[in-house]
Structure formats: structure tokens, C-alpha cells
């Protein structure tokens, strides 16, 4: 049943209540499945100011968004990012926003965890693909596991619920996923395993990385009792309860089993481009109407027009013939 307060209904009757905002395309890691090592980032002059990002978020919240997630790149490397978090937190206090959250690589969490908690951030996702320090440095190219672990500890102490996101990579962390799950559940964290998504040129062949989660789940089922549960966080993960660890494990499967039928999300980039689907190139420019008027009527109309074009689903595929990604832009541009 559609919320009567929802103002954004797409052509397939889905209420759009979840906005993911990429506050920067920059990151202090260079994960091998996400970025090339020598990335060319957007010129800073092309980025929306924090005040402009806040204004756009305000419009979306007025139009029925109830969950807002800040992403990147790495959102916590954006200069003065906590100013935006503090401003958005007023919608939590008013009750207009049910959840303000973020996805992070954890590198800056030790610095910001307490302030995030003070701003009403109750839950975060931390991207972590291995518990082996050397392998972690290899997969992130620039990251250090001990720093991320200190950040996770700081967020945990601050009372923030943590979900660990691990990308399944064939030949890299395939054998380690059970250990990671036990560690996460032992800390009281949920964990989600994600298939690698064919987005952007990464200086490598994704066919070498791709590990279908159907295989991961089958392997886990030999050691653990996995029971499907209806638990939802607003995202695309399908969850199971793991009897032996008494924890929740999610699977995000854009390739083997897409999650489009219940999609309630749109994605806003740091340049003011709105993507109605992670796996499609169609987009809408919100920066121009934002800057052409002091009021929000033009922006609101542009959002309505864009939601009217939201597709039924994505067409992710790993092209074994050409090795080209399904979508040319990098994940760090759209924001996960």
C-alpha cells in the first residue's frame, strides 16, 4: 500500500521514499573493483556546494523521501561534511525524515563517529572485504585495516548500529566470507555480501572477479543453517537468519537475481545529476533549475519529470566478449 503522503510515484506504482546522495566522487581508497588507481576526479568547481546539496535534499524530503543515505566516493572526505549532516539532522528531529545514514569505508570514522551519533545517525554501512591486513591493503590499494578497525570500534562505542558490506571477489575473499560473517555476528553487526557491479573502467577484467552469490550461499549452506526472513532496511538486500551465529546475513545480487521490483530509490550525484536507476544511463539535471531560481518550483518540476521516466529495472551484465562495463560511469560517481 502506497503511503498517502508520498508525492513521488514512478510509472510502475512504486513510491520513491529513499534518496542516496553522493556528496563527493573522491575517495581515500582505490578499491580494485570500484576505481582505477589513477583516477581523474571531477573538477571541484563542478560540485554542488554543501548548501546546494542541502537545498536539494530538503526538496526531496518535502516530496516524500523518508530515508536519506550519504555516500561517495567516501563521504567523510568531503570538506566540512559534518555541516551538511548537522543541517539534515533537523529533519530527523522534526520527524519528517525517518533515517539519516551513510555508507563509508571506515577510514574517517574514528574522527567523526561521536559527532555522527550526536546528529541522529543511528546506523551506518561500512565497506570491508577482508580481515587480512595485507589483503586489505592490496584490494583498497591505499587503505590500512587497523585504521578502519579503530573507526568501527569508535562507531560501536558511540552507539551506532553497524552493517558490514563485503563485495564477493572470486579468488580473493571467497574462502574468507564465513570467517568474516562469524566476526561480524560476534560483534553484533549485520553483514551483507554484494556481487561486483559492472560499472566503470577499473584497469582489470571483472570476469576474473565475478563470484555469483548463488554459489556463495550454497557454500555457506553446507556449514550453516540459513533461514529466509522478511527483514528489510529499505535497500535491495535479501536477508537470512544464520542459526549458528544468531545473526543476519544479506545478499545483494544485481547480476544473478536483480532487485528491481520493489525499488524505492533514486540517486543524486555531487554535481546535481539525478539517476533514476543505478544500472541505467538516463539521468536528469537538477543543478540548472536549482541555480536558475531562488524558489524550488523548477527543481520540484524537474524531479517530477525524472520520476516519470524511472525504468522498471536495470540490465547489469558482465560482458565477457568486450570486457566493457554495463555502465560507463564509476560507482563512486553515482554513490552506490
- Whether residue 119 is annotated as binding a ligand: the answer is no
C-alpha to C-alpha distance for 135 and 131, rounded to whole angstroms = 8
Is 20 annotated to bind a ligand? Reply is: yes
Q: Which residue ranges in the chain fall short of pLDDT 50?
A: 1-2, 4, 199-200, 202, 316-323, 325-327, 329-330, 332
308 marked among binding-site residues: no
Query: Is 270 labelled a binding residue?
Result: no
Q: Say whether 291 counts as a known binding-site residue.
A: no
What per-residue confidence (pLDDT) applies to 95?
97
Quick one: 336 exposed, middle or buried, by C-beta within 10 A (0-12, 13-18, 19+)?
buried
The answer for 281, left when phi > 0, alpha when psi is -120 to 50, beta otherwise, is: alpha
Residue entry with cell 544485481: 254
217 labelled ligand-binding: no
pLDDT reported for residue 34: 80
* Interval 276-304: pLDDT, tens: 987 677 899 999 999 999 999 999 999 99
| Each residue's pLDDT tens digit, 142-187 | 899 999 999 999 999 999 999 999 999 999 999 999 999 999 999 9
In the prediction, which pLDDT does 43 show?
87
CB atoms within 10 A of CB 229: 12
Question: What integer pLDDT is reported at residue 315 of this predicted model?
Answer: 54
Q: Is 103 known as a binding-site position?
A: yes
What CATH fold (topology level) applies to the domain 18-334? TIM Barrel (3.20.20)
Q: Find out whether 69 is annotated in a ligand binding site.
A: yes
293 alpha carbon, distance to own chain's centre: 30
pLDDT at res. 318: 45
Q: Is 160 strand, coil or helix?
A: coil
Amino acid at each position: 500500500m502506497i503511503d498517502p503522503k508520498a508525492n513521488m510515484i514512478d510509472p510502475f506504482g512504486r513510491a520513491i521514499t529513499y534518496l542516496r546522495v553522493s556528496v563527493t566522487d573522491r575517495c581515500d581508497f582505490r578499491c580494485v573493483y570500484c576505481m582505477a588507481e589513477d583516477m581523474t576526479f571531477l573538477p571541484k568547481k563542478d560540485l554542488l556546494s554543501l548548501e546546494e546539496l542541502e537545498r536539494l535534499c530538503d526538496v526531496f524530503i518535502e516530496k516524500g523521501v523518508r530515508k536519506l543515505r550519504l555516500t561517495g566516493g567516501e563521504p567523510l572526505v568531503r570538506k566540512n561534511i559534518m555541516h551538511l549532516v548537522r543541517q539534515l539532522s533537523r529533519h530527523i528531529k522534526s520527524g519528517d525524515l525517518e533515517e539519516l545514514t551513510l555508507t563509508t569505508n571506515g577510514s574517517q570514522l574514528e574522527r567523526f563517529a561521536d559527532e555522527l551519533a550526536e546528529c541522529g545517525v543511528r546506523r551506518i554501512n561500512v565497506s570491508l572485504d577482508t580481515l587480512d591486513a595485507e589483503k586489505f591493503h592490496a584490494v583498497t590499494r591505499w587503505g590500512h585495516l587497523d585504521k578502519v578497525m579503530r573507526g568501527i570500534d569508535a562507531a560501536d562505542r558511540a552507539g551506532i548500529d553497524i552493517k558490514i558490506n563485503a563485495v564477493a571477489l572470486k579468488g580473493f575473499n571467497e574462502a574468507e566470507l564465513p570467517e568474516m560473517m562469524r566476526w561480524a555476528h560476534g560483534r553484533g553487526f549485520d553483514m551483507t555480501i554484494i556481487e561486483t557491479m559492472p560499472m566503470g573502467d577499473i584497469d582489470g577484467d571483472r570476469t576474473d572477479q565475478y563470484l555469483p552469490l548463488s554459489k556463495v550461499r550454497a557454500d555457506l549452506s553446507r556449514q550453516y543453517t540459513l533461514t529466509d526472513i522478511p527483514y528489510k532496511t529499505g535497500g535491495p538486500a535479501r536477508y537470512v537468519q544464520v542459526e549458528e551465529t544468531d545473526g543476519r546475513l544479506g545478499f545483494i545480487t544485481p547480476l544473478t537475481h536483480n532487485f528491481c521490483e520493489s525499488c524505492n530509490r533514486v540517486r543524486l550525484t555531487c554535481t546535481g545529476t539525478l539517476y533514476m536507476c543505478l544500472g541505467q544511463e538516463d539521468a536528469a539535471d537538477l543543478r540548472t533549475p536549482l541555480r536558475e531560481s531562488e524558489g524550488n518550483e523548477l527543481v520540484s518540476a524537474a524531479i517530477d519529470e525524472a520520476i516519470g521516466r524511472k525504468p522498471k529495472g536495470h540490465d547489469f551484465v558482465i560482458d565477457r566478449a568486450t570486457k566493457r562495463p554495463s555502465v560507463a560511469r564509476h560507482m563512486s560517481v553515482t554513490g552506490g
